[in-house]
Structure 1
Amino acid sequence: MTDKPKSSAAQRRSAARFAAIQALYQAELSQLPADDIVREFSDFRLDGEGIRDLDEPNDNLIDPDRGFFADLVQGVTTRVVDLDGLINSALEKDWTSKRLETVLRSILRAGTYELMMREDVPMRVVITEYVDAAHSFFDENEPKLVNAVLDRIGKTLRAGEIGQK
């Protein structure tokens, strides 16, 4: 067995985001509590094997930042009503988060949570990370939707970060 090269903090956070999207999808479909989902992922899906780095398909595995992963999953599930309210306000008229596909809703919720609660992560990083994640799941217009919605939410929540009043 060969040692994996050390992953950067940014790579470990990217892997945590990707795993969190999957966990949020599972949580919504199974209706299991966030703590159970985090425990299952930690015990069985993130058990030293890591998450495949989609930008490097040569079987490099990235060990996710487990604390960041748990914060995303637990934070989203705790604040889902507030997150959906922000998402709904950023969607086109007559659209709500309930009309979105479950993975897309999970991506938007996680991104919105980071914009709302993780001021240690720059707005542009959050948006880029979740647009990239959307590209992993979707081929069509969904990544553009993720970009537009998170940009609108970011301009509301982080106006000072982009020089708006």
Structure 2
Amino acid sequence: MKPEEKRRMRSAARFYAVQALFQMEASGVTVDTVAREFETHRFGEVMDGVELSEGHVDLFRKITSEAVNHQARIDQMTDRALVAKWPIDRIDPTLRAVFRAAGAELVAHDTPPKVVITEYLSIADAFYPEGREKAFVNAVLDHMAREAHPEAFR
């Protein structure tokens, strides 16, 4: 498989993780329930001309499970990045899912912070194509990345 195809499949796994985290919050289902549903009904689909393979299910599982396992820490990091009058529970649920998925990669994976920011900005852009949210997402993710990995920004 070509490197570009691998990158696109990792991006798609991240996109699905955001959707799954949103669905978990909206419906109150567990991470295991939503992961099974996505693995049964979404993986194997073609997205951006690439079929999502079982190999990228692992990244999807890691992001969703780590987002749940580290949710308190991730939400606290997000809160510190937000304006004082806008705690995380007041922001759009899709943005919460973006921040939780990105936060999972920042606190529990070895994904470079700049890759996390780039990938999740692209996902935010897919959900909010008019672009107003992109600067907001960029600022919050940058703050979260600097908190999680200060050494990467020296």
Q: Calculate the TM-score normalised by the size of structure 2.
A: 0.91
Match of 2:62 in 1: 71
SS of 2:131 mapped into structure 1: coil
Kindly indicate whether the alpha-carbon contact (under 8 Å) linking 1:76 and 1:110 is maintained by their aligned counterparts in 2: yes
Question: Which residue, 8, 14, 38 being the options, matches 1:11?
Answer: 8
Kindly indicate whether the alpha-carbon contact (under 8 Å) linking 2:77 and 2:147 is maintained by their aligned counterparts in 1: no
Per-residue deviation, residues 112-140 of structure 1 (Å, max 9, x unmatched): 11111112x11111001001110100123
SS of 1:94 mapped into structure 2: coil
Question: Which residue, 109, 115, 134 being the options, matches 2:124?
Answer: 134
Shift of 1:156: 1.4
Which amino acid in 1 is paired with 2:96?
A: R
Which amino acid in 2 is paired with 1:135?
A: D
1-side partners of 2:51 and 2:114: how far apart? 22
Which has more radius of gyration?
1
Structure 1 residue runs of 5 or longer lacking an equivalent are: 54-59
1-side partners of 2:151 and 2:140: how far apart? 18
Per-residue deviation, residues 15-64 of structure 1 (Å, max 9, x unmatched): 10000011111111111110111011001121x224x22xxxxxx13415
Match of 2:77 in 1: 86
Distance change (3 Å), C-alpha of 1:10 and 1:78: same
Question: Which residue, 2, 26, 29 being the options, matches 1:32?
Answer: 29
Q: Which contiguous aligned blocks of 4+ residues in structure 1 show a shift greater than 6 angstroms?
A: none
Aligned pair 1:153/2:144, yes or no?
yes
Q: Calculate the TM-score normalised by the size of structure 1.
A: 0.85
The structure that is helix-richer by fraction is 2
SS of 1:93 mapped into structure 2: coil
Size of the aligned set, in residue pairs, is 150
1-side partners of 2:67 and 2:78: how far apart? 13
Sequence identity percentage: 33
Aligned pair 1:61/2:50, yes or no?
yes
Cα root mean square deviation, aligned:
1.5
Kindly indicate whether the alpha-carbon contact (under 8 Å) linking 1:21 and 1:106 is maintained by their aligned counterparts in 2: yes
Structure 2 residue runs of 5 or longer lacking an equivalent are: none
